[in-house]
Structure 1
Amino acid sequence: MWILSETSFDPTKQHHKETIFTIGNGYLSTRGTFEEGYPNDRRATFIHGVFDDAPVVVTELANTPDWLATQVVIDGEKFSLATGTILAYRRDLDLQTGVLRREVRWQSPNGRVATLIFTRFASLADEHLLALRCEIIPEFDGQIELRSALNGQTDNEGLLHWRHIAQGQLADGAVFLRTRTRKSGIELALVMRLVGDAALTTTFWDVENVPTLRQVYQARSGTPIVVNKFVGVATSRDTGNPLELAHHHLQRVTDWDQELTAQRRAWACEWERCNVVIEGDEEADLAVRFSIFQLLIAAPRHDQRVNIGAKTLSGFGYRGHAFWDTEIFMLPLFIYTMPEVARNLLDYRYLTLPAARAKARAAGYEGAWYAWESADTGEEVTPTWVPDFHDKKKLARVWTGDLAIHISSDVAYAVQQYWQATGDDAWYIERGAEIVLDTAKFCASRAEWLADRGCYGYTDVIGPDEYHDHVNNNAYTNLLAQWNLRAGLETLAWLEQHAPQKAAELRQRLDLTAERLQHWQTVAEKMCVNIAANGLIEQFDGFFKLKDVNLADYEPRTKSMHEIFGIEGANEYQAIKQPDVLMLQFLLREHYSDSQIRVNYDYYTPRTDHTYGSSLGPPIQAIVACQMGDVDEAYEHFIRAARADLRDVRGNAGDGIHAASAGGVWQAVVFGFGGLRIHPDGTWEVHPRLPKHWQQLTFRFTLRGVMHIVTCYPDGRAIVA
């Protein structure tokens, strides 16, 4: 299935639908708000890298001027779904082409009837071009007025980020708006042109910060009026003269059909590399394609200075900040389908190494400690305080920026995965190896010798399970750091053999003395981890002594266990936000037998807050369940992840797409049900385990430059093309 549809308008679901009907092209995204507006909408277009200072959250993506703004006046009455009568309504997002279409048959308060069709897309063929078509079919004779603007009066939920610079009309009739962020000083230019049926009159309204073109048409019953709005967009991150660049991209436009054809061709190329088809389950088929689409429209194809935020570019949630979500949950899709995008995202981590080093140094450590929340510079932008769950008048301390050290090993892991899958030695030598080495340097520096136990560990940390803070020896943190240290040693040995000059440079620049490297080896060999005789790994020191909890006793509920117990109270219980240990075993699959995974799966699964905990947990849980052969249970976790945004399972989809969950959905299908396993030596295998109602699963992936198309069947067969 390719079409996400809405067949009636429900104002109570307005913000949720704005999120899931987001369009984009990897340069920017625009939420699915209505062209004409609606009361309390969250209109937003976000452009990668356009951050500006903000209180509490440090910095945020600045909501750019509204390019959609289009008012239709029907015989003197403004078209709005908040007035008049909706006689028919339908909205479709075509995931195959990235085109959003809305058709409304509307009766004005005075009885005038017209059908209005709005079609829009952000061009994938030209990332600096936006297109909107307005088609009006009147059922009366009279007058129709169109007011199309570039509205600079936008904000981030009340916070103003833009200062008006200039506006006007160019020699060719195009209308422009120039504006600049207040603190970061990023200039933005938008240039608009209207093309379509001849108007009776066209007037330029030079309204400050809202330059507008007003067109008047003669309405004749049954005769369509079609107007196309094209907008060029550019920022000072792209060029020294954004207005000139935006105008250039607008000038090359000839007509709607040509741009739409280019859009379809560009998307066809994308889907050729990453499409997934599930036969026998329409909901799952649409959900996985929707998840892929949401990541594709946020994927920076031509910019290595940006990351993908936890809410992509689709909402105000997390202010555009990037987390480990990118490397662990989203990146695999790109690594195995669009490696050039994966490389861009990893380049961002390379370019922000100075900030990671500064963070480590400020805390008294060596190496690179990446920010838990990262924005344009890579500096730490995690808020220190947020409103308390139970009393919004009080503030609660946020510790992740201070204690979540696993982020550095997560980045290193992603670097190794990219290199393993692509064989991109040149990039690894030039950039990737340095990331792995400097994060290993941090892991060794941050490690503490615990004399009473005779091992190294990490005290006062937060693992992926954020229900528990200030813990000691979190298994995920410790063992991924152990992996990072060993990867660093292996990397240096590989460089010595394949790029000795680079090895010598990094040895000197990173001060990789023989004594330091020996210390890495010792820390890795003597890393603390609590493992029972049956293979059960304790999530962190003392976890088994916490109060056990039967989550079923709290059903039905609409809150997370974190909210129910409180931020401090949650530390006393074994209820977890997501299963750290299972995530660890998924990432380091080669290190664990099925029986070792089984004992941990059986222990941690009933203690995990699957429904209202982290959106990151269910897709990984699904993969591990598949590996254990529990396919029915795997499907329950998978479909929970698949519905996260489409059905607004957690009630917060209005804040933006759950990007990590979207990436996890793809992984659950490919690595879980498809059973794809990539080995460190570059070999691969598939062991399909399909849900009983799936008739067929087809997915594609690229390894070392070769694309493979795999079709899986319920009997466990797999055909590779």
Structure 2
Amino acid sequence: MMDYTQGKNKLENWIVSEMEFSPDSLGKCEAIMSLGNGYMGLRSITEEPYINETRNMFVSGTFNKAFENEATELPNLADITRMDIRVDGERFSLELGKINSYMRQLNLKTAELTRSFDWVSPLGKELRFVFKRFVSLHDLHLIGMKMEVECLTAPVEFSFESGIDAQRDNSGSQHFLEGDRRIFDRQFIQLVQTTNESEIDVVINTAHKITVNGQPIEYEPKMKMNRRKVWQSYEFKLQPNDKLEVEKLTTLYTSRDKEVDNGSYSLAELREQSLQALKKSVKEGYDLLFNAHQKEWDEKVWNVYNFEIGSEDGFDQLAMRFSLYHLTCMTPAHDDRMGIAAKGLSGEGYKGHSFWDTELFILPFFIYSNPEIARSLLIYRYRGLVGARKKAMENGYEGAMYPWEMAWPSDGEVTPEWGDIDIVTGTQTKIWPGFIEQHISADIAFAVYQYDNVTNDPEFLKDYGYEIVFDTARFWASRLEWNDEKKEYHINGVIGPDEYKEHIDNNAFTNYMAYFNMKLAIRYYEKLEKENPELLEKLKGLLQLERAFADWNLKVEAIYLPAPRKEDLVIAQDDTYLHLKEIDLSKYKNQDRVRTIYDDYNSEQINAIQVSKQADTLILLYLLEQTFLHDDPRIAGNVKRANFRYYEPKTLHDSSLSLTTHAIVASDIGDRDLAYSLFKKSTEIDLGPKMNTSDMGIHAASIGGIWKTAVFGFAGIRLADRTLKVNPALPDHWTHLKFAIQWQGQTVTFSITPSNLSVTVSGGKTLAFENGGNLYTCEESIDIPIAAASSASH
């Protein structure tokens, strides 16, 4: 049972709590309470083992292919969290005996996991347990754990075994070769793992520091070693009121770490370096290390992303903090060779791969809140050009055709080929997105455009951005198919964002985004002609730009762009969608779990029904209004409203990406109740009462969407081709909203109430922005009555 009301006073709306232990519902808390620092992620598994547990620890970028016929994935590293505990010789488990006062909590502010309970053994002896854990944001290579055991009634024989267990896998696939294992000075345990294909070394060190009643004890544990495993065994006799405290500190380093991934790399040096780092940490101890970690969270996260929501329901504030917490945990801000996984670092789902989720649902947070990290994530895509060019060439196209799923930048396409069962035929279904879901190339170009407009970082464009946009435009120009009958270019045989429609022609999102991508390339080419001809000459030689520029100009205006229908302004999602049969979707709209439509239909049958998995045409309208196309009547406000009314009833939101877009658009068209309802549903994907929604890991894009809905929906922040627009529309029960963004090199703080918009600028430059159709300038601060313009459409 989840509870979000346990935080009191200064910790109000900071605490995520589990109030009852359930061995059948372990996955939810393992995932939503997961710990991480962007370098590594640790699933919040219990120390004692259970049958349905999933012990996961991942390090960003350490991709490996276990076997030739499998997809590359982040390998599950050795487990350092498990402790095999015995009380009076019997295995300790919460499935035995009696539990009192159980609570497991994630403190979002301090990024510490705690678990506490009183336990009565089958023999009637009572013990009090407290477990604590953190993954350091101060030292990216450090994990801290602490176990406190207090004897409350009768003497007990208490023992535990703990160490490093590399007998782990990824759902059955083993990624590591057998590695060296050793215990130094009967205290410091070291285990080496090496991936079997990518040959990445992983060095893990761990040590225990033990006190009884506050006094260090001199104790030589039994040392044990087995295949892929090394550990120590401790035994104690505890008297009533005795308190045993065990600190377990771990360091983790890999040969993929940026500072050692070079020609002079030495495994022996990495082993020694990591061991010395552990010894230093053991001297400092859990509390000092945790204090440094907590300070880092304050300075790098909470003092930077200070986001206040005044709501009648405190859960809204907690959900926003949950979003900011996981955006920090999942993002490899330390290394521009790495991207964000669809499940962050909290589970094996989607194998650690990056999707369009990053550019459209997560990156906006960093663009507006921490441009340095946004830049790093876009450089990851720049480094991925090598894989994108490889994919284009393999498919007979030019330029850069980005992988639908991306791992290490040079890997190219890594989407698995086969997926779930076909309920009609009983066979595996083919995963088509890796072959024909191609809009991601334009999505990445849009992200470059958005970053450029919001941050005004010309060096990024010069070093990375132009090349991404030009090469993706080259891909689209080669991808277009001429229809001689209609004298226009089509894009046939694709999947759009709505993955319930496969092998469709002229998906509106794909066609319009390809059009935008090519128009952007033309604009950038002409900009370089005027401002930096030397760079243009360099890129001409690299990318055959003179021919490409002529090709873009020849083709771009001949791309078929489905226009709003005259009778109702609806844009056809693709050539056939509006002609498909309609069925009663209420059963699936009101479902308790996603994808229940697959209980009744297979993919081919769903393809023939007017039903959408997620936002498609709507996200197109939302994106293009931020660009130089914002005045195009085909994407006007009345078109957005008409398409929302048409497509929302047909959208099942079977993707966690969908609710965010629908919430923002609902807010845009003035339907505040629906906008808030959709926002609430998006927060409950991970935080809701259902205990099996997050078993494979948190939903990274949806978590980014919590911030997006609040900022772009309720606060009404919107980019419009280098212009900042602000048109707030708070939910009825929100009393205020306060946050800051970064806009073209300066910090802008917004404080919004139902009746007032307050804007404060720091950075010494005048801010120009639009509200309700009026242009305002602000040098320090300005207040604007919202009633004057709050009804204006974005």
Instruction: Report the TM-score when normalising by structure 1.
Output: 0.96
Match of 1:321 in 2: 353
CA contact (8 A) 2:307 2:740 kept: yes
What letter matches 1:173 in structure 2?
A: Q
Q: How does 1:354-365 map to 2 (within 5 A)?
A: 354-365=386-397
CA contact (8 A) 2:120 2:127 kept: yes
Counterpart-to-counterpart distance in 1, 2:690 and 2:602: 21
CA distance 1:625–1:556, change in 2 (3 Å): closer
Residue aligned with 1:168, SS: strand
1:215 shift after superposition: 2.9
Of the three residues 155, 164, 168, the one matched with 1:141 is 155
Of the three residues 161, 165, 189, the one matched with 1:175 is 189
Residue 527 (structure 1) aligned with residue 559 (structure 2): yes
Counterpart-to-counterpart distance in 2, 1:535 and 1:123: 53
Counterpart-to-counterpart distance in 1, 2:501 and 2:691: 21
Match of 2:75 in 1: 62
Of the three residues 44, 48, 56, the one matched with 1:44 is 56
CA contact (8 A) 1:202 1:213 kept: no
Residue 104 (structure 1) aligned with residue 117 (structure 2): yes
What letter matches 1:530 in structure 2?
A: P
Match of 1:53 in 2: 65
1:257 shift after superposition: 2.0
Of the three residues 623, 626, 640, the one matched with 1:587 is 623
CA contact (8 A) 1:200 1:217 kept: no
Counterpart-to-counterpart distance in 2, 1:163 and 1:460: 42
Counterpart-to-counterpart distance in 2, 1:284 and 1:564: 35
Residue 156 (structure 1) aligned with residue 170 (structure 2): yes
Counterpart-to-counterpart distance in 2, 1:64 and 1:300: 17
Which range is displaced more, 192-201 or 4-13? 192-201
Residue 550 (structure 1) aligned with residue 550 (structure 2): no
Match of 1:255 in 2: 285
1:77 shift after superposition: 2.8
Residue aligned with 2:363, SS: helix
CA contact (8 A) 1:482 1:523 kept: no
Which range is displaced more, 147-156 or 709-718? 709-718
Match of 1:367 in 2: 399
1:585 shift after superposition: 0.7
Q: How does 1:119-268 map to 2 (within 5 A)?
A: 119-139=132-152, 140-171=154-185, 173-197=187-211, 198-199=216-217, 201-208=219-226, 209-238=228-257, 239=260, 240=265, 241=267, 242-253=270-281, 254-268=284-298
What letter matches 2:637 in structure 1?
A: D
Residue 407 (structure 1) aligned with residue 440 (structure 2): yes
Instruction: Report the TM-score when normalising by structure 2.
Output: 0.87
Of the three residues 673, 676, 700, the one matched with 2:717 is 676
Residue 568 (structure 1) aligned with residue 599 (structure 2): no
Counterpart-to-counterpart distance in 2, 1:567 and 1:334: 36
Runs of 5+ unmatched residues, structure 1: none
Counterpart-to-counterpart distance in 1, 2:207 and 2:55: 21
What letter matches 1:349 in structure 2?
A: R
CA distance 1:300–1:570, change in 2 (3 Å): same
- Identity among equivalent positions (%) equals 36
Residue aligned with 2:517, SS: helix
Counterpart-to-counterpart distance in 2, 1:535 and 1:142: 75
Q: How does 1:67-82 map to 2 (within 5 A)?
A: 67-82=80-95
Counterpart-to-counterpart distance in 2, 1:278 and 1:219: 48
CA contact (8 A) 2:181 2:191 kept: yes
Cα distance per residue 1:542-587 (max 9 Å; x no partner): 2211112332265654444355331000111111111211100111
Cα distance per residue 1:149-173 (max 9 Å; x no partner): 1111111122222222211123583
CA contact (8 A) 2:490 2:560 kept: yes
Counterpart-to-counterpart distance in 1, 2:599 and 2:109: 39
1:617 shift after superposition: 0.8
CA distance 1:142–1:10, change in 2 (3 Å): closer
1:223 shift after superposition: 3.0
Counterpart-to-counterpart distance in 1, 2:743 and 2:759: 17
What letter matches 2:326 in structure 1?
A: Q
1:649 shift after superposition: 5.5
Q: How does 1:484-499 map to 2 (within 5 A)?
A: 484-499=517-532
1:57 shift after superposition: 4.5
Counterpart-to-counterpart distance in 2, 1:383 and 1:583: 26
What letter matches 1:490 in structure 2?
A: R
Residue aligned with 1:255, SS: helix
Residue 422 (structure 1) aligned with residue 455 (structure 2): yes
1:428 shift after superposition: 1.6
Residue 464 (structure 1) aligned with residue 497 (structure 2): yes
Of the three residues 730, 743, 768, the one matched with 1:703 is 743
1:244 shift after superposition: 2.6
Match of 2:104 in 1: 91
Counterpart-to-counterpart distance in 1, 2:670 and 2:607: 32
Match of 2:310 in 1: 279
- Aligned residues, how many? 717
Counterpart-to-counterpart distance in 2, 1:11 and 1:669: 35
Q: How does 1:615-694 map to 2 (within 5 A)?
A: 615-647=656-688, 651-681=692-722, 683-694=723-734
CA contact (8 A) 2:25 2:692 kept: no
Of the three residues 491, 500, 507, the one matched with 2:540 is 507
Residue aligned with 1:52, SS: coil
Residue aligned with 2:695, SS: helix
Counterpart-to-counterpart distance in 1, 2:691 and 2:574: 28
Match of 2:31 in 1: 19
Cα distance per residue 1:394-447 (max 9 Å; x no partner): 111221111111010011111121222222211221111111110011011101
CA contact (8 A) 2:145 2:286 kept: no
Match of 1:289 in 2: 321
Counterpart-to-counterpart distance in 2, 1:103 and 1:407: 45
- CA-based RMSD: 1.9
Which range is displaced more, 586-595 or 74-83? 74-83
1:252 shift after superposition: 2.8
Of the three residues 640, 643, 648, the one matched with 1:605 is 648
Which range is displaced more, 129-138 or 232-241? 232-241
CA contact (8 A) 1:279 1:697 kept: yes
Counterpart-to-counterpart distance in 2, 1:463 and 1:563: 23
CA contact (8 A) 2:99 2:117 kept: yes
Match of 2:779 in 1: none
CA contact (8 A) 2:748 2:759 kept: no
CA contact (8 A) 2:23 2:50 kept: no
CA contact (8 A) 1:465 1:577 kept: yes
1:50 shift after superposition: 1.6
CA contact (8 A) 2:679 2:706 kept: yes
1:512 shift after superposition: 0.8
Match of 2:128 in 1: 115
Counterpart-to-counterpart distance in 2, 1:146 and 1:650: 30
CA contact (8 A) 2:330 2:344 kept: yes
Cα distance per residue 1:589-629 (max 9 Å; x no partner): 1423211211111111111113xx11111111000011101
Which range is displaced more, 116-125 or 699-708? 699-708
Match of 1:540 in 2: 574
Residue aligned with 1:568, SS: helix
CA contact (8 A) 2:423 2:601 kept: no
